[in-house]
Chain A
Amino acid sequence: MKTERTTKLASAEKRSVSPMEREHALHLLRSMIRIRRFEAKCAELYSAMKIRGFLHLYDGEEAVAVGVMEALTPEDAVVATYREHGHALMRGISAGAILAEMYGKQEGCSRGRGGSMHLFDDKTRFYGGNAIVGGGIPIALGLALADKMQNKPRVTCCFFGDGAAAEGEFHECLNLAVLWQLPVFFVCENNLYAMGTAIRYSHSVTDLARRAASYGLTTAAVDAMDVQAVEAAAEEAAVFVRSGKGPYFLECRTYRFRAHSMFDPELYRTKAEVEEWKKRCPILTFSRKCLSDGIMSDADIGEIEREAALEINEAVAYAEACTLEPVEDLTRFVYSEGRPA
């Protein structure tokens, strides 16, 4: 097991910045800001009763989805959890299709059949959106098994939280993935709480990377408030898995700024704790570092904010204009249509 890694924060000295480095930094920051602003809009639309059901927001954890997705190719597969708006956006599902889904519209990425917790997309191989904690992990194994049996050098990237690491399926899956040397990239988003239960109340060993290592697979832990650290760790993991060396477990140590869902009064943690973590906000720290390094300017960040606002406003307008599926179609998609005779 590797030790925790972080990238160095803001050095005072200015250095020369290549256009590529600048472009990439802008891309990372833009990606995180897109997610943050998208989630803020979702919260607003929830309050406005435009979105219903359960809504789980990703604020604070953006560096995980952004950093990890950088390491994947379009051929790879993604299995995510019910807190997956950020992953879906990063995978390339449009904000409009995601928002339309939450509006329950038939132009939504799951035709309005799934909602916030069940975003799907075949073009980007995005296999949900799973609202049973740990329930997506076996599916990721199967996708990887299919690739291995068909000699396709692809990676299946499976996101889950610290809560899932207490589920039996998590342990079954690590065992089987190692046993069968399956190309799965396990990404544990450890935000320290399984809904409202702190990790110390649900795990006998709270160092999840260490626990995972007991199954005999390569593991690492990363400070997931640092997008560049996540990106570097994910790159290493994806290269490892893609090269056929078996599964890889990356624990992303992060924190959720908002409540678990819109129904959560947050009785289980103090405001002071949340405020303390907000000082490590991945957007704040990364933008501060980029400014300090001279990689970007306040004007660049202003431009990113404008772009994000425009994209989200367009997505809202799109979702509003989308249509409801006719009730006559209610029982469609229970079985495949056009089954061979």
Chain B
Amino acid sequence: MSNGMEHMRKLTYREAVREAMRDALRKDERVFLMGEDVGRYGGCFAVSKGLIEEFGPERIRDTPLCESTFVGAGIGAALGGMRPIVEIMTVNFSLLAADQILNNTATYLHMSGGLFNVPLIIRMATGGGRQLAAQHSHCLSGWYAHIPGIKVLTPATVEDARGMLWTALDDPDPVLIFENSGLYNMEGFLPIDAGPVDIDSARVRRAGKDLTIISYSASLFKALDAAETLSKEGIEAEVIDLRTLRPLDERTFLDSAARTHRVLIVDEGWRSGSISAEVSARIMEKAFFELDAAVERICSAEVPMPYAKHLEEAALPRMEKIIEVVRKMVRSHG
């Protein structure tokens, strides 16, 4: 009997992103990659390793350390007919380009009354958990999701790491892709003929009837692991992967809330003003009467990320905490 696995292959998240870029570079000569150390070094997380050998330094462009300028140059190149992929080493460094991202990338189409769209992709690593302390570990994807005019993708699976980039390259507008650095070594299975995937819907990653856990990026796997443990206790959690933080697919999580009547949001961002706050507010606004309990949130502690391992672990959302909160939510009500 076939188990379907003969049509699947195993690869890492890092390889999935690299494949997506390689395919794009092969099929569209307008595509090029630029950023710090993307070429000769192979990418600071080795994502672009080997690409310069195949495509040369014109299309795999090492830039000087000037985030604002190479992001802005990405905008200009996009306006000039190219399809640039700009890589920023980490989300913290993206703040050096925040002016270009917010004041130009997100505004050009609107400010020009619809004349100039910017088909630019900006990829960057994000997230904590690797003892890199307070200037390399933050999760600011929810913060970028505040900005109209850009799309914010947070692929968690190898399928999304590969397929979302393809779709993003066909998008006429700027797309930011946040790759959690803790996921680069994660292995997953992908159909041999895997293609593009949509970039504007959430997915139910695990079906369940007792409670909904909404998450995205690396925290998704903490939620899924927690759900497995809870299942042994007879609690069936539905787990939703937001996938895209802007535009936010509220239909998927509102429908789930209407089925399970309880919602927990797990978000690696800081709690105040976070995407979890936005999701919670929308549930309150649009599914209030479906709820049997108040929406709960597990977010990162509101501190800059500490270096010490035990403190960093305490600062991030943990599976044990998810299990504890879910038990309390399910057992203390109706």
User: Which residues of A line the B interface, CB within 8 A?
Assistant: 77, 79, 106, 108-114, 118, 120-122, 127-130, 132, 135, 137-147, 149-150, 156, 168-169, 172-173, 175-176, 179, 332-337, 339-340
Is B115 touching A110 in the complex (CB atoms < 8 A)?
yes
Which one of B80, B103, B115 contacts A142 once the chains associate, using CB atoms below 8 Å?
Answer: B80
CB closest residue in chain B, given A184: B76
User: Which residues of B line the A interface, CB within 8 A?
Assistant: 32, 58, 63-64, 66, 68-82, 84, 99-100, 103-104, 108-117, 148-149, 151, 170-173
Q: How far is the CA of A106 from the CA of B79 in the complex (A)?
A: 23
CB of A207 to closest CB in B, whole Å: 23
CB of A93 to closest CB in B, whole Å: 12
Seed contacts A138-B75, A142-B72, A142-B74; 15 additional CB < 8 Å A-B pairs: A113-B113, A114-B113, A120-B113, A122-B116, A127-B116, A132-B103, A135-B99, A139-B79, A141-B73, A143-B80, A146-B80, A146-B81, A149-B58, A333-B112, A334-B109
Q: How far is the CA of A335 from the CA of B148 in the complex (A)?
A: 8
**Chain A residues with CB under 8 A of B117:** 336
Q: Can you identify 18 A-B contacts, CB atoms within 8 angstroms?
A: A110-B112, A114-B112, A120-B112, A120-B113, A122-B112, A122-B116, A135-B103, A138-B69, A138-B73, A139-B79, A142-B74, A142-B76, A146-B77, A146-B78, A175-B66, A336-B173, A339-B171, A340-B172
Is A335 touching B109 in the complex (CB atoms < 8 A)?
yes
**Chain A residues with CB under 8 A of B82:** 145-146, 149-150
Q: How far is the CA of A335 from the CA of B75 in the complex (A)?
A: 15
Which one of B80, B103, B114 contacts A333 once the chains associate, using CB atoms below 8 Å?
Answer: B114
Q: How far is the CA of A234 from the CA of B108 in the complex (A)?
A: 28
CB closest residue in chain B, given A79: B76
Is A138 touching B80 in the complex (CB atoms < 8 A)?
no
CB closest residue in chain A, given B71: A138
CB of B29 to closest CB in A, whole Å: 9
CB closest residue in chain A, given B68: A169
**Chain A residues with CB under 8 A of B172:** 335-336, 339-340
CB of B199 to closest CB in A, whole Å: 11
CB of A112 to closest CB in B, whole Å: 7
Q: How far is the CA of A132 from the CA of B148 in the complex (A)?
A: 19
**Chain A residues with CB under 8 A of B81:** 146, 150
